[in-house]
Structures are given as C-alpha cells and as structure tokens.
C-alpha cells in the first residue's frame, strides 16, 4: 500500500469485522428487533417496480485480504465503504436490472495508514476512484419468499474495478425485512484479473494475490 511508508503494518491486534451474513444484516436493519411480518403484502404486484439503495451504515461494499506480517503472523485486512448508490428493478417474476456504484476512495479499515496507502498501490484509488457492478442476467424469482425467509442465488454481472471490467459470479443471499430487501454476498477476486499487484510495505512477508469482495446492500421500493 505505500512503498517505504509501511509503519501501518506494525500492528499486533486486528479489529477486522466479521464476514457478512444475512443474520447480522437483518439485525442491523431492524435494530435487533424481529422483522415485521408483512407476508401478505409480498406478491409480485405489490413488489414490482423500481427499488433504490438505502444509503447509510447498513449498506456497504468492501474487501477482505490475508496478510502475513513479520513478528506477527497471519492477519486479515478488511476495508469497507458506505459511499454507494444503486438501483434494482423487479417485474413481479424476476429482478431484471441492478446497478451498484461505489466510491472506493472512501474505503475505511481499522488503520488509517492502510487506507491512505490504497491511494497509490493495489486499488490505486486516486487514479480509479469508483467501482461498479451491473447485473447481466435476470434473477428469476419463482416463488416470492415470506418476510424473514432467506433466498440464495448465484448471480452474473460485470464488475468494474481498477479501471477493468470483467464478468463475475456472486453468491448472494436475500431476505425481506421491514419492507426492505436486504442482500449480502461475496466473490473471490484475483488481483491480476484487474491489473492490480499486491501492495508492498516494510515488515510485510507476504500479501495474498487475491481477496474477497463482500457486500451488504439494503433496498427500499421507490
């Protein structure tokens, strides 16, 4: 992440957050309370239309990468950004379109030094300040789930990262909670696929040449 300014690696304790999960996402959206039971309203007619991403602490995308540090050993770097906008379209039988845009200059981890380093290495956010995902194949919804019922899908789309656009598959889980659609998911990213190289800094024995992109998104009907 910045050459020669590797002091950010001299950290013994990691404050990396847990991996995304439907359970923790719903708990955040509902403030720990049970989701309201609106099963009767969950039909294709009432849910069809445009949905908009709900900006804020409950919607984020980010990275998870393993590092091996001298004198410390294996640790995990996790950074997330809430600076998002996005839309989703549902025609009553399938999600026909989705687009998510992220400001990756706002990625935050547990160390400011790491975040600053990403400006010039790896993601190079100074040169490539945004990332985007666009759905390329409709997501069929054969039976609309009741509120609180989790649905798992593998979805296809195009991911633009570090100025490179590639086809990707994401494993996602979705659930309706309090009239909002909550989605979590992840996919493995090889740095070389997006013309990125692992960052270098003092005291770093190794950084994986791949990582996990993870997301937690909340949508509300427009």
Within-domain flag for 84: yes
Query: Measuring CA to CA, which residue among 176, 202, 198, 217 is closest to residue 81?
Result: 217
Q: How confident is the model at residue 68 (pLDDT cuts 50, 70, 90)?
A: confident
pLDDT score of 192 more than 70: yes
Within-domain flag for 37: no
Within-domain flag for 208: no
Q: How confident is the model at residue 213 (pLDDT cuts 50, 70, 90)?
A: very high
Mean pLDDT of the chain: 87
Our measurement of the distance from residue 134's CA atom to the centroid of its chain's CA atoms, rounded to an integer in Å, reads 13
- Residue range(s) defining the domain that contains residue 76: 20-30+47-183+213-221
Within-domain flag for 11: no
**Span 40-58, mean pLDDT?**
84
Within-domain flag for 132: yes
Within-domain flag for 196: no
Cα–Cα dist 126/169, whole Å: 27
Within-domain flag for 217: yes
Within-domain flag for 5: no
CATH of the domain at 153: 2.40.128.110
Count the domains in the chain.
1
The helix/strand/coil state of 115 is helix
The answer to whether 53 and 15 are in contact (CB under 8 A) is no
Residue 26: how many other CB atoms lie within 10 Å? 25
């Amino acid at each position: 992440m910045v050459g020669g300014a590797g002091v950010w690696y001299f950290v013994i304790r990691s404050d990396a957050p847990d991996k995304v999960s439907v359970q923790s996402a719903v708990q955040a959206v509902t403030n720990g309370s049970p989701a309201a039971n609106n099963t009767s309203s969950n039909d294709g007619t009432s849910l069809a239309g445009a949905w908009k991403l709900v900006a804020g602490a409950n919607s984020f995308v980010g990275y998870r990468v393993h590092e091996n540090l001298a004198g410390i050993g294996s640790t995990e770097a996790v950074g997330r950004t809430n600076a998002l906008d996005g839309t989703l379209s549902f025609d009553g039988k399938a999600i026909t379109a989705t687009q998510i845009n992220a400001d990756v200059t706002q990625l935050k981890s547990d160390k400011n030094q790491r975040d600053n380093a990403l400006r010039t290495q790896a993601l190079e956010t100074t040169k490539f300040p945004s990332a985007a995902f666009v759905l390329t194949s409709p997501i069929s919804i054969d039976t609309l789930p009741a509120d609180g019922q989790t649905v798992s899908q593998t979805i296809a789309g195009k991911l633009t990262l570090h100025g490179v656009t590639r086809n990707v598959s994401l494993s996602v889980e979705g659930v309706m909670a309090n009239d909002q659609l909550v989605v979590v998911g992840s996919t493995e990213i090889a740095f070389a696929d997006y013309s990125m190289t692992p960052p270098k800094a003092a005291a770093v024995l190794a950084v994986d040449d791949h990582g996990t992109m993870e997301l937690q998104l909340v949508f509300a009907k427009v």
